[in-house]
Amino acid sequence: MHSMNCIVILVVHIYCFSFCNGWILHAKSLCKEMNDDSPVVKNITITYTIRNTFSEPWYVYERNVTSSDGQPFIRFMEQAADDDTNYKFSTTYDSKHGYVILGLGKEGQCGGSSLTSWQFKKGPSTILSTDVSRYIPEDGDHLIMDCVMAVL
């Protein structure tokens, strides 16, 4: 449909205004705009909190992170880690569970032993049953990584 519209616009402009190169160029640019099917990338912003109130050293870090809509949460984690060393993390990959967070935060203390692990929540307190590589955040989400006692 767009191609047909462009042909009509171009023919009308060439026929009616062939004496003026400016109109022909304008018609061509209109056609280009109508056929520009490149996807528009929408960014979203989430609030990302790392919280260790379980074991020393205690800390709470919170920041807004902006990334492309439709990306899994782990991409937001990477963006935060690139911007702030308090958000650096280490993972291991399990085909059944996706990425498992081993260490998180500048100290990386929590999650490094069999006694503690990271719990993935959507604020204020909803525990998410998916992993960071499968959860797709929505604009305005508040996502929390909480240091907790490991479930044995």
**What residues does each domain of the chain span?**
2-35, 43-149
Q: Which fold has domain 43-149?
A: Ferric Hydroxamate Uptake Protein; Chain A, domain 1 (2.170.130)
pLDDT digits (tens, 9 = 90+) for 61-106: 999 999 999 999 999 999 999 999 999 999 899 888 888 888 888 7
One-letter amino acid at 120 equals F
More confident residue, 131 or 65: 65
Distance CA 124, CA 44 (A): 19
Q: How far apart are CA 102 and CA 46, in angstroms?
A: 22
Interval 141-150 mean pLDDT: 91
Q: What is the C-alpha to C-alpha distance for residues 32 and 103, in angstroms, rounded to an integer?
A: 50
Q: E strands within the chain?
A: 43-52, 59-68, 89-94, 98-104, 116-122, 126-127, 142-149
Q: What angle do CA 47, 51, 53 make, to 5 degrees?
A: 155
pLDDT band for position 19 (cuts 50, 70, 90): very low
